[in-house]
Structures are given as structure tokens and as C-alpha cells.
Amino acid sequence: MTAAPGDLRCYDRSRIAELASESIIIFDSDRRVRYWNPAAERLFGWPFLAMQGSEITDLSPSPAEEQCAWSQLVQEGWWQGRVCRRARNGRVVVADVRRHLRYDETGAHHDTIEFARPATEAEGADAEVGPVPDEIMAASWEIDISPALEIVARLGARASLAGDGEREKLCLRLVECARIVEVNERTARLVGGNRGRALMAGQSVAAFWPVESRAILAELILEALAAEPGTTCSRRLASDGILRDPLVSVWRAGPERPARLFVAVSGAADDDRSYLFLRASEARYRKLVDYMPVALWQVDASHMGKIYAQLRADGVVDFERYLEQHPELVERAASTVPVTDVNRRAIELVGGAGVHDLTRPVGYLFSESPASLRRVMIGRFTGQKNYNELMKLRTLDNRVLDVLFSVTYPEPRVELDTTIFSFEDVTDRLRMETQLRQLQADFSHAARVSMLGELTSSIAHEVNQPLAAIVTNAETSLRWLAHDDPDTGKIAQLTERIAASARRADNIVQRVRRMAVKQTPDPVELPFNEILQESLLFVRHEIETRSVRVSTSYARGLPRVVGDRIQLQQVIVNMLINAVQAVEDRDEAEREIAIATGSDEKGNPLFTLRDRGPGIAADHLDHIFDGFFTTKAQGMGIGLAICRSIVEAHGGAISASNRPGGGAEFRVVLPRAGDYMAVEPVVGNVHRGFGGNALNAT
Ligand code: ADP
């Protein structure tokens, strides 16, 4: 039985399996080989074409043991252990294999995937089992000799005689009558011209087989037909201009296909440029992956796919909640999902001695960030294509790295269920970012303190007012007490006023203090209008002493914003001071500021500040948010730059324009609470908490 061509094409597309250093074999539900990658050809010596459709147990020297392993696979869904297989050169290859059953969408058993490595690799022995490059490049043929059976019979009847001209003719005739069933890519490249594999099928073997060795092929065919099943008959030929010292091997396909034979020709090609070119390009591709500066892990989570399918069938929709209730499933993934291959950078990154240090269950990758594995599983369950996040990785030599971790999930049926993990060490980058954020924080704090400096007289005035009230009320109270019959009701009233004024003074001091001290930003949901009202308190005195009229218009029912109260106040106070400064030299009629809140077309809260000042010169409009841009004699030019970095770190936008009737207009839009997402300053699409540039400014 052979696999449907559609299926094969599908598997052929999987570059990873073709280039994997591990043997990968796919069996259909009858245990017949459907796919056999080049590493499997290398390990077991059999070309794919010979194995396609055959039962793997036929290669086992101990079928009973093999049978037992398959029964366990069916019961458990996966199996891991050691198997022995007869290779084409007659030796027995011992391999460590893992097998997983795979299921289709309906939950029915679809096929089995097997990964294998030579067992000797682990024991560090027998170099002979290593790669044999020319063997991999065997050109394979499946041929049908049924149209030549009569010739075979006649040849069988004649004893082989040197110089027997009649026999030689019959031999050539045999090769002419033999038909090609299928050839592999290598055969097509070597002798097919540009006809391709499909066009070779059905044609005479003689149309493609070199004339000088046709008789030898015929003799090998006769030998193979007469030999015991499973015997390989080989002959080394003289170089034929295509291959150097080719070795031709012929063997029977099996009892159920008596007229079918397999032919494999191994040997180094020295003339076929495209053939060599392809070999070189495959090697280059493999090298490229191996030397890529990103650490790559190939992971086989196929058996988890079965569990997910079952859970879905059982009606589990909220997988995140399910995992919270069943943490053992995460444990299970950590201890049973194996890493099947890694590249050099991976070994360097985690400090292992070789591939074998890293090809074990994935748990070791998540020892520092167990929740990351959970998120990887959720990504697969919910059908994402990729997932990435920043996480901590503990190396084998016990260093802890900050890494950007990315997962590429397999596309069902195309990628052989291979998941790829990549890790990029971003420890240094994050350290630099932290330093940068610290600098920005210091800068922003310095600007705030300097802003408070500008407001000293306002603050003094603010505090003075309740203090003056306390003094007045205390004196009045004393006067009442001096009466012979003090009015205790009146005194109590005055004392209450004293306490209220003291509280007000305390509030002002606290407010200024909060603005002045350095503290970690505290993002909370805030009512937009309230931030504005509080900010106005800081500049009330400036406004009053300069006879500036302020009109306010607060929209009702505005959504909340998420942010740090002090930082947002810093933005608004800064803009208010600028507006007051812009109008203070105008005629009294023009000393006007209008503040309004509202929402933009997407429903995000916005705030506008309009003044009747001179406006902003057209060629300054693009620069006022730049650091150190100022048009004022005493200005520093950092206020608006800090406003912008704070607003952007909150995911919002700030802009300035000139009003048609004169004066400037500033507009700040912030995302409403539900839509809030911290912006990513440097590292691309990663999950992060509240962070980013100036938000960490304190
Ligand atoms: P500074 O106030 O120290 O100059 P800012 O960064 O706050 O620093 O402002 C930068 C510049 O933007 C100001 O120097 C001024 O030219 C312009 N600007 C800011 N606000 C206004 C405004 N309301 N009207 C006109 N120009 C303004």
C-alpha cells in the first residue's frame, strides 16, 4: 500500500523534517511507512522509496518485542524505548525512538510519528553508524517486471555462460520490458534529464539506465528474484560518467508485490552539477539553521495535541481556567514533551556540552518561569500561530538570563507536529533599558521639582490662606472664652473651623509633597475630570494674581483612564503654566484660558486647553515637544518634552495647534481604562506589565 500522493506532497513540504538530524518516520494506522526522512535513510540505510508502504516490523530481528511496543503505543498514545532494525547493509541498527499516535479532527487515529536517534550516539561508540553521505544520496527506483516475466523464465532456464550472446540479448530485453513505477528525486536529477519524476513513471527502465550496465542490472534482477526474501543483491560497477564507483543493489518489494523490485544506486556524482548544487544548498540551509544567532529548539508536543482534542471534545473552552484547576497538566507537559533537536546557539546559550544535554523534556526551560509554559499551552489550545514573551531562563550552569522567548506552533498535517522555540538573550538590552528608564525618571523628577519651584509663591499663598484662617478663628475663640459666660456653641463652631483649615493646609502640603518626592509610579483607574480639577489647584494662585479668566467645561460620564495620578497632574500643570505665561502679557480682555474634557471619535477621553496668547509660530509647531526647545528667556524647554513622553507611555497622544482666532490649543487623548495597554518602548511584540519609558519616571 502506498500513501496518497496528496499526503506525500504535504509531508514533502516539511523542510524541517527533511533537514532534521533525527530520523523521522510516519506510519499509517496499519504501521506501513508513509514518510521516511533523509535522516532515516541515513540511519537505517534504506531509501524512502524502498520503505514506502512496507511494514516496519519486517525489519525487526525480534518481531515479538516490536509487537509489544506497538501494543503499548496503542494503549498509551505514546511509546519510548530502544528498537533494533535490520539495515540495508545487513547490520542491525539499535536506535532510541519515541513514537506518538496522531489523531484527526474527529479524534480517530490518523497516523504515528516516530523520532529516532542511533542508540550508539548516547553511548559514544561505533563511528560506523554515523552519516554516510553517499548512502543518503542513493538514487532509488521501484520497478515492475511483470511485462518481462516471460523473459525472466527463459533466462532462469538458461545457465549463465560467458560469451552467450543469446543470454545477453535476453538480459537487455528484460531491462527494456521492465517498467518504472516510481523513482526518487535523486534518480530524476541524475538520469531523468528535465523530464521529472512523474514523467519517468510508466516508462521502460532501459530508457534511463546506462546501456553499458543494463546486462548487470538484469543479472541482479534475476539474482534478487531467486534469493530469499529480504536479501539484497549488490554489484559495484565501473564509473559510468554519472556516478563514481556506483554500487547497484536490488531486492524484492515483498511477497504481496512479487513482480516489484527496488533498485538503489549509491555513489558520488561528479558530473551532475544541479545534483551537487542541491546537495550543497541543503547543507548550506542546515548550516544556516545551525549557525543562526538565535537559539532554536525543535519540540515535539504531538501527544499534548491529543489531550487538547479530548478536552475540546469534553467541552473545555476556557483553557486558562482549566489549567488553574489542573496544574498537573502543565507538570505533565514539562516532563513529557521532548526537545528533539537544537542548534549551536541553543547549546551556547544554556551552556550545555552538546545536543544530548538539551534534548530532554522541556521542563528545564521553564524552571524560572513556570507560568510561561502555561501560556505556551494556552496559545496552542486556542489555535495561535505564534506566541512570544519576555521571560527568565535558568541555564545549565545556573545563570539566569532575560530572554525573548518565541514559539512557532505547528500547522496541522504540514509541519509534522513540530513546535519551534526560539530564545534570544536580551539581558544586556534590558539592563540598558532599565538604565535609560532610570535616567528618564531622574530627569522627569528634576523637571517636576523645578516646576514646583516656579510655583513657590502659589504654594506659599495656598498654605497661607488656611493658616491665616486658623489664626483669625483662634483669636476670635479666645475672645469668646474671655467672656464671663462664654458661648460654648460658638466656640465649638470656631474650633471646628480651625480643625477644617488645618486639614486643608495639611492637604495642600501633602499634595505638594507627593509632587516633590520621588516615588514608583502607581497606575490606577482614575476619573479624568478629577485629575484636572486637582491640577488646577496648583496654579490657582498664578491664575488669580495675573487676572486670568479660566472657563472649565467637564463632560459627564467620561470613561476612566489608567495612569499615575502624579504624572498626569505633572502634564496638566505644565501645560497650564505655559498657558498662563502665554496670556499674562496680553490685554486683560484676552487673558483667557478654556479647559474642556470630552471624548474623541473612538470614545477615548480627551482634554483640551485653549488660550488667547500669541499662539505658536508655524515653524515652531514641529519642535515644541523636542527637548530643550524654548522661546522664553528663562525657559528650559523640557516641560512639553516630558509631557509627551508621559502621555505616550500611557498609550495616549499629545498635540498642539493654533486657533483660528489666535492663541494656542493643546490636546491630550488617553486610552480609556478597558483599552489601556502599556506601550512597548524597545522590545517588539511582547507581554509586559505596566512599564515603558517615562511611566517609570518618578
Ligand atoms: P519652556 O516653557 O521652558 O519654554 P516647554 O517645553 O514647556 O518649555 O515649552 C516649549 C516652548 O513651546 C515654549 O518655549 C513656547 O515657545 C512654546 N509653547 C508652549 N506652550 C505654549 C502656549 N500655550 N502658547 C504659545 N507657545 C507655547
Ligand 1: residue whose CA is nearest its atom 7: 639
Tell me what pLDDT residue 17 has.
62
Read off the pTM.
0.48
Q: For the segment 555-596, what is each residue's pLDDT rounded down to a tens digit?
A: 998 999 999 899 999 999 999 999 999 999 999 989 999 999
Query: Is 318 a domain residue?
Result: yes
* Three-class SS of 291-357: HCCCEEEEEECHHHHHHHHHHHHCCCCCHHHHHHHCHHHHHHHHHHCEEEEECHHHHHHHCCCCHHH
Answer whether residue 148 shows pLDDT above 60.
yes
Residues 31 and 174 in one domain: no
**Helical axes 565-583 vs 488-516, angle rounded to 10°:** 90
Residues 541 and 686 in one domain: yes
Q: CATH code at 158? A: 3.30.450
First to last CA, the chain: 72
Q: CATH code at 28? A: 3.30.450.20
624 lines ligand 1 (CB under 6 A): yes
**How far does the centroid of ligand 1 lie from the alpha carbon of residue 575, in Å?**
8
Answer whether residue 278 shows pLDDT above 70.
no
Ligand 1: residue whose CA is nearest its atom 13: 630
Query: Is 353 a domain residue?
Result: yes
Contacts of residue 128, defined as CB under 8 A and 6 or more positions apart, other chains included, come to: none
Least confident among 366-375, 464-473, 518-527: 518-527
CA 539, CA 462: separation in Å to the nearest integer?
10
Tell me what pLDDT residue 690 has.
29
Residues 574 and 628 in one domain: yes
How many domains does the structure of the chain reveal?
5
Among the three residues 407, 425, 443, which one is the final residue of a domain in this structure?
Answer: 425
Least confident among 173-177, 375-379, 517-521: 517-521
Tell me what pLDDT residue 279 has.
53
| Cα–Cα nearest to 419, from 377, 468, 463 | 377
Query: Is 184 a domain residue?
Result: yes
> Of 630, 655, 659, which is best to mutate to test ligand 1, by the most ligand atoms within 8 angstroms of its C-beta?
630
Among the three residues 520, 544, 560, which one is the final residue of a domain in this structure?
Answer: 520
Where b means 16+ CB within 10 Å and e means fewer, 669-689 reads bbbbbeebebeebebeeeeee
| Cα–Cα nearest to 78, from 341, 278, 303, 256 | 303
Residues 434 and 536 in one domain: no
Tell me what pLDDT residue 196 has.
67
Query: Is 1 a domain residue?
Result: no
Residues 558 and 695 in one domain: yes
609 touches 593 (CB < 8 A)? yes
Ligand 1: residue whose CA is nearest its atom 26: 616
584 lines ligand 1 (CB under 6 A): no
Tell me what pLDDT residue 269 has.
58
Phi and psi at 188, nearest 5°, equal: -60, -40
Residues 368 and 465 in one domain: no
Answer whether residue 135 shows pLDDT above 60.
no
Residues 436 and 473 in one domain: yes
3-state secondary structure of 40: helix
Among the three residues 400, 425, 450, which one is the final residue of a domain in this structure?
Answer: 425
Query: Is 129 a domain residue?
Result: no
Query: Is 134 a domain residue?
Result: no
Query: Is 151 a domain residue?
Result: yes
| Cα–Cα nearest to 365, from 341, 329, 345, 339 | 339
Q: For the segment 655-676, what is each residue's pLDDT rounded down to a tens digit?
A: 999 999 899 999 999 999 876 5
Answer whether residue 508 shows pLDDT above 80.
yes
Residues 351 and 437 in one domain: no
**How far does the centroid of ligand 1 lie from the alpha carbon of residue 293, in Å?**
47
> Containing domain of residue 73, as a range?
9-118
> Of 550, 578, 608, 628, which is best to mutate to test ligand 1, by the most ligand atoms within 8 angstroms of its C-beta?
578
